[in-house]
Amino acid sequence: MEEIRKYTPNDKEYIVNALTDEGLTEDEMTFETDETYLSDVGFFSYREGEYPQMTHFYVDKDKRGFDNAQKRRK
């Protein structure tokens, strides 16, 4: 079963490399100040406010596809 865990500073290099590869600059990366979680297929970040806002949603390139898109957590 896929585990979701909270971001730690050890994850920074992986996330920066992933977002840089997608064309973001470091100024556009807010994962360190947002709520960020990782899984075995990627990561996501969001922030609370008047309305919750998804700031980053990333799936590893080698894990993109229909099989992972249709998975359901149990």
Query: pLDDT tens digits, residue range 2-24?
Result: 689 999 999 999 999 999 999 99
Are 36 and 4 spatial neighbours (Cβ–Cβ below 8 Å)? no
Residue 19: how many other CB atoms lie within 10 Å = 20
What pLDDT, on a 0 to 100 scale, did the predictor assign at position 67? 75
The DSSP element (H or E) to which 67 belongs, if any, is helix 66-69
pLDDT mean across residues, the chain: 91
pTM, 2 dp:
0.84
Nearest residue to 46 (alpha-carbon basis) of 38, 35, 57 = 35
The structure tokens 């960020």 sit at: 36
What pLDDT, on a 0 to 100 scale, did the predictor assign at position 2? 67
CA distances from 28 to 19, 22, 24, 32 (A): 9, 11, 6, 11
Q: What is the mean pLDDT of residues 29-53?
A: 96
